[in-house]
C-alpha cells in the first residue's frame, strides 16, 4: 500500500481498479455530471513537460439561453511545492518561487486562461507551524507594491489576465502588523485585497502567533471576467463565510489553502463542492504540495516527540460548479496547473431550478443569530 506521500490521487486508484462501466457510475455519484476534458495547446503542454508540472483542463457546460449570450471564462489553479530547502537565504527561496510560478503562469496564458489563483502564502514555506518569528516574518511584504505584487502586476499586464496572489502582508500604515492576505491584480493594476477571516488553532497550524482574523469583510471583486471572491484556507470550514461571499454577489470563489493529509484530507473534496451547491456559484479549491522540513524542531502540544516537518500537503486542487459537478483533482504529490472553462450563466440557471436563494429565510436566521450572540441567550430546547 502506498504511503500518504506516495499516493498519486484518488482518481488514479479508481481508474486502476474499477471497470469502465462501474467507474462511470461511481464518478457520477462522487463528482456529479461529467466534466469534459479540454483540448490544451501544444505550447502549454510543452511548457509543463519541460518544467515538470502536471497540466489538466476540463469544461463545465450550461444550457443555451435565448436572451443571454454565454459568459465563458477560463480559470487556472496553481499548486506547487517549495523550490529550495527552508534553510536557504530567504531571498533565494522567494526568487525561486517567483521564477517557478511565473513559468506556470506562462502555461496558463498559453491556454487562454483569464483568471489565475495561486496557493495560500505562495512565496514562502508554510512556516507558521514553527512559532518562530525569525526569520519567517521577513517574508511579509506590502500588498499594494511589494516585490511579489510588482511581479504579479507585470505578469497580469503581459498576459491580460486577473491574478489572485495570496501573500503574507506587512501593513506599514498600521503599526507594521502582519496579515494573511490575498491580493487581486487585473491587467497590471492593483485592484484590492482580502484578509483571511478565520484563523486556525488546531494541530500545528499556529498562525495566530503571526496574525489575527482579517478586517476586510467579504469583498467581491468585479472584474472583466466576472465577480470573484477569495475564501482563504481555514475559512472553508465556516459555511457562513462562503455564504456571505454569495450574498455579496460572487460568481466564482477561490479557496487558496495549505493543509495536510492527516488533518483534513477527508474533508477536502466535500467542503468547496458543498459551498458551490449551497451558494450557486463556482468554487476553486487550491492546496499546496509536498512535505516541508524546517531547520529547528517544534512541538505540537499533543505529547508527540518534537519534529521538523508539518506533514504532507496533498494538493488535489479542483473546481466545483453550482450544479454539484466537479473536476477530478490534480495530483497529491506533484506541482500542477488545473484549467477549468465555465459558463457563468450556470449560476443563475441553478438558482432558478433549486430556488435556494428564494427559500433561504434570511429574516428568520438573522433574528435567531442576533439572539444567539446575546449573553442572556437561552437555546430553544423543548422538554
pLDDT tens-digit series, residues 329-348: 999 999 999 999 999 999 99
Band (pLDDT 50/70/90 cuts) for residue 2 is low
Quote the percentage of the chain above a pLDDT of 70. Answer: 99
- pLDDT tens per residue across span 199-255: 999 888 889 999 999 999 999 999 999 999 999 999 999 999 999 999 999 999 999
Q: How many CB atoms lie within 10 A of CB 236?
A: 25
Look at the alpha carbons of 254, 146, 104, 266 in this order and tell me if their dihedral is positive or negative: negative
Q: Which CATH architecture has domain 38-371?
A: 4-Layer Sandwich (3.60)
Are 241 and 218 within 8 A, CB to CB? yes
Neighbouring-strand partners of residue 309: 293
Segments making up each domain of the chain, as ranges: 38-371
* Segments in the chain forming alpha helices (H): 10-17, 20-31, 42-50, 90-110, 147-159, 239-247, 261-279, 345-354, 362-372
For the annotated catalytic residues, the residue numbers are 120, 196, 233
User: What DSSP letter does each residue of 110-142 carry, written as one string?
Assistant: HTT-SEEEPPTTTTS--GGGS---TTGGGG-B-
Which residue shows C-alpha cell 454569495? 246
Q: With bands split at pLDDT 50, 70 and 90, how would you rate the model's confidence at 135?
A: very high
**Greatest pairwise CA separation for the chain in angstroms:** 68
In 3D space, the residue among 352, 340, 273 whose CA is nearest the CA of residue 60 turns out to be 340
State the angle between helix axes of 239-247 and 261-279 in degrees (0 to 180), rounded to the nearest 10: 30
- E strands, 64-149, in order: 72-79, 115-117
What are φ and ψ of residue 82, in 5° steps? -70, 160
Q: CB-hemisphere CA count at 13 Å for 71?
A: 15
Least confident of 69-78, 118-127, 298-307, 340-349: 298-307
Contact between 144 and 171 (Cβ < 8 Å): no
**Which single residue is written with the C-alpha cell 524546517?**
294
R_g over Cα of the chain:
21
Strand residues in 299-353 grouped as ranges (E): 307-314, 318-320, 336-343
Supply the DSSP symbol for 170: E
pLDDT in tens, 253-288: 999 999 998 889 999 999 999 999 999 999 999 999
- Torsions phi, psi for 104 (to 5 deg): -70, -35
Q: Cα–Cα distance between 218 and 242 in angstroms, integer?
A: 9
Amino acid at each position: 500500500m502506498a504511503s500518504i506521500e506516495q499516493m498519486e490521487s484518488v482518481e488514479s486508484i479508481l481508474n486502476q481498479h474499477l471497470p469502465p462501466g462501474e467507474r462511470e457510475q461511481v464518478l457520477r455519484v462522487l463528482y456529479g455530471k461529467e466534466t469534459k476534458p479540454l483540448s490544451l495547446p501544444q505550447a502549454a503542454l510543452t511548457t509543463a513537460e519541460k518544467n515538470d508540472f502536471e497540466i489538466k483542463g476540463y469544461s463545465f457546460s450550461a444550457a443555451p439561453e435565448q436572451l443571454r449570450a454565454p459568459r465563458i471564462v477560463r480559470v487556472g489553479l496553481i499548486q506547487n511545492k517549495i523550490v529550495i530547502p527552508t534553510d536557504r537565504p530567504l531571498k533565494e527561496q522567494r526568487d525561486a518561487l517567483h521564477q517557478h510560478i511565473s513559468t506556470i503562469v506562462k502555461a496558463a496564458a498559453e491556454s487562454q486562461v483569464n483568471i489565475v489563483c495561486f496557493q495560500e502564502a505562495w512565496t514562502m514555506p508554510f512556516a507558521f507551524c514553527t512559532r518562530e518569528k525569525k526569520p519567517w516574518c521577513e517574508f511579509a511584504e506590502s500588498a499594494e507594491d511589494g516585490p511579489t505584487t510588482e511581479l504579479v502586476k507585470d505578469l497580469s499586464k503581459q498576459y491580460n489576465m486577473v491574478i489572485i496572489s495570496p501573500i503574507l502582508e506587512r501593513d506599514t500604515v498600521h503599526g507594521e502588523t502582519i496579515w494573511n492576505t490575498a491580493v487581486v491584480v487585473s491587467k497590471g493594476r492593483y485592484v484590492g485585497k482580502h484578509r483571511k477571516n478565520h484563523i486556525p488553532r488546531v494541530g500545528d497550524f499556529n498562525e495566530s502567533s503571526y496574525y489575527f482574523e482579517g478586517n476586510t469583510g467579504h469583498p467581491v471583486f468585479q472584474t472583466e471576467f466576472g465577480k470573484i471572491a477569495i475564501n482563504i484556507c481555514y475559512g472553508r470550514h465556516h459555511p457562513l463565510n462562503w455564504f456571505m461571499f454569495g450574498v455579496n454577489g460572487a460568481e466564482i470563489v477561490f479557496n487558496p489553502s495549505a493543509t495536510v493529509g492527516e488533518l483534513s484530507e477527508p474533508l477536502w473534496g466535500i467542503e468547496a463542492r458543498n459551498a458551490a451547491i449551497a451558494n450557486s456559484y463556482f468554487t476553486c479549491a487550491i492546496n499546496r504540495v509536498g512535505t516541508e522540513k524546517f531547520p529547528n524542531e517544534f512541538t505540537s502540544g499533543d505529547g508527540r516527540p518534537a519534529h521538523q516537518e508539518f506533514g504532507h500537503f496533498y494538493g488535489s486542487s479542483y473546481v466545483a460548479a453550482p450544479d454539484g459537478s466537479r473536476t477530478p483533482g490534480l495530483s497529491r504529490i506533484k506541482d500542477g496547473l488545473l484549467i477549468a472553462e465555465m459558463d457563468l450563466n450556470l449560476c443563475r440557471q441553478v438558482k432558478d431550478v433549486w430556488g435556494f436563494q428564494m427559500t433561504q429565510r434570511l429574516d428568520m436566521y438573522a433574528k435567531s443569530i442576533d439572539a444567539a450572540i446575546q449573553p442572556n441567550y437561552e437555546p430553544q430546547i423543548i422538554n
